Amino acid sequence: MSEADFDAGDAFDSGAEPLLRTLAPQVLGAVIRRFGDFAAAEDAVQEALLAAAMQWPEQGVPEHPRAWLVQVASRRMTDHVRREIARRRREAVAVEARHGDVAPAADRDAATAHDDTLILLFMCAHPALSEHAAIALTLRAVGGLTTAEIASAFLVPESTMAQRISRAKQAIRKSGVPFSLPDDGERAARLGAVLHVLYLIFSEGYVSSAGAMLTRADLACEAIRLTRAVQHMLPQDPEVAGLLALMLLTDARRDARTGEQGELIPLAEQDRSRWNHAAIEEGVALITATLARGAVGPYQLQAAIAALHDEAPRAEDTDWPQILALYGLLEQMTPNPMITLNRAIAAAMVDGPAAGLAMVDPLDTDARLGGHYRLDAVRAHLCEMAGDLETARGHYLAAAGKTASIPERNYLTAKAAAVAERLTGR
């Protein structure tokens, strides 16, 4: 059993883990405010979290857990700063370190703690970082996951993940971004980047919870938890609510979307009794209330589409005309060939496969799609609907040859084989 397993398991048993995860960004914010060094503060907070995960299950959760963590992290920070001074003989840091050795701070008021979490999210989704780096740093600095946990979720060695996080912290240091909320002008764009990172974490994790994929499924939960926290802090932002609803409504289908061997089960064939109906209820309520307020955005539209799927008792009850209309709106708002592909499927369900194929044809020359497997997969599906089995088989195989997902390849190859069987069976 690795150290990470031990820590997470023990803290989880004691019920401390959710508390630690919630406090992690708040503690980090407090330590950065005091010492001003994001990278070193982040390391110090990780050590404090680890200490808490070991001590709290045995000694009980302290009365002021946040203050406890801030104090432990500050001590680590002071040690770090002293070492740095000794090593580099640099006086500049000493000025900042002066305030390091202080009595435990009383719990900060909730508003400041929320601000700190938000500021951290903005920092971690900083445009200076690659997506890769932004994801890793968000999970660690805001999510409070250990490097080992993040490494195992992305199936890379822990040392590689440690380097990735350390480089991300260096990039933030170099960018000179202050530890404060962006001004109003910049805020919308930066919030968009935060939501994108959260969505990427969710997509990475949205797979079956079976067997080896377990750690990845946790990423989806983590993304939902973080988005929920953002929504709690920004309850008036419709796109934050839209993203949370989208995640809930998509994740609700997780158990039903893969079979026992990890094989993919398409929406139309899923056992809807296995959907998470509490999540659906919450997601539907959230998106309904949000849409009613106006200011519709892409995440809200995608959530609305997911809601229409989730609300249909059977696949054949799906309100395809409504879905088609929503994809039309989404395409106008954010023109993108992937959306066109989805709209083509909806069009085929409403007006027949010829209507769908007519929408797909112009995408052949779309450079943004660049021969993407989804184009072949959708065309194969539409050709099969139209009864053109020979062409469908070719496109299923072409899609299978291009995808980078094993469950998808297995599904597409099996579809090609099923179509071939129908062809010879005639």
Interface stretch with another protein, choices 50-58, 157-165, 179-187, 356-364 (CB under 8 A): 157-165
Residue 175 as a binder of another protein (CB under 8 A): the answer is: no
Interaction between residue 330 and another protein (CB under 8 A):
no
In whole angstroms, give the CA distance from residue 39 to residue 141: 10
Binding pattern to another protein, positions 91-130, x when CB under 8 A?
---------------------------------------x
| Contact (CB, 8 A) for 139 and 145 | yes
CA-derived radius of gyration, the chain: 24
Contact 421, 398 (CB under 8 A): no
CB of 377: closest distance to another protein in angstroms? 7
Residue 35 or 154 with smaller CB distance to another protein:
154
Contact criterion met (CB below 8 Å) for 342 and 327? yes
Count of residues binding another protein (CB under 8 A)? 40
Interface mask (CB under 8 A) for another protein, residues 208-227, using x and -? --------x-----------
State which amino acid sits at residue 242.
Answer: G
Q: How close are the terminal C-alpha atoms of the chain, in Å? A: 57
Going by C-alpha positions, the residue among 393, 399, 400, 384 that lies closest to residue 420 is 393
Q: Contact region for another protein (CB under 8 A) — 74-82, 87-95, 180-188, 199-207?
A: 199-207
Residues 245-264 that bind another protein (CB under 8 A): 250, 253, 257, 264
- Residue 343 near another protein by CB under 8 A: no
**Three-state DSSP class for residue 264:** strand
Query: Applying CB under 8 A, which of residues 161, 172, 201, 397 lies at the interface with another protein?
Result: 161
The whole-angstrom separation of Cα 70 and Cα 327 is 47
User: CA angle, 97 as apex, 92 and 101 as ends, to 5°?
Assistant: 165
Q: Which of 408, 414, 420, 422 binds another protein (CB under 8 A)?
A: 408
Q: Which of 249, 392, 411, 419: binder of another protein (CB under 8 A)?
A: 411
Nearer to another protein, 286 or 306 (CB): 306
* Chain centre distance of CA 272: 24
- Which of the ranges 59-67, 191-199, 401-409, 417-425 carries the binding residues for another protein, by CB under 8 A? 401-409
How buried is residue 111: exposed, middle or buried, by Cβ count under 10 Å (0-12/13-18/19+)? Answer: exposed
Cα of 356 vs its chain's centroid, Å: 31
159 touches another protein by CB under 8 A: yes
Residue 302 CB partners (closer than 8 Å, separation 6+): 242, 246, 330
Backbone angles phi, psi at 335, to 5 degrees: -60, 125
Q: Which is nearer to another protein, 205 or 298 (CB)?
A: 205
- For the CB of residue 163, give the shortest distance to another protein in the complex, in Å: 4
Residues near another protein (CB under 8 A) are: 130-133, 136, 154-157, 159-167, 203-207, 216, 250, 253, 257, 264, 266-267, 374, 377, 403-409, 411
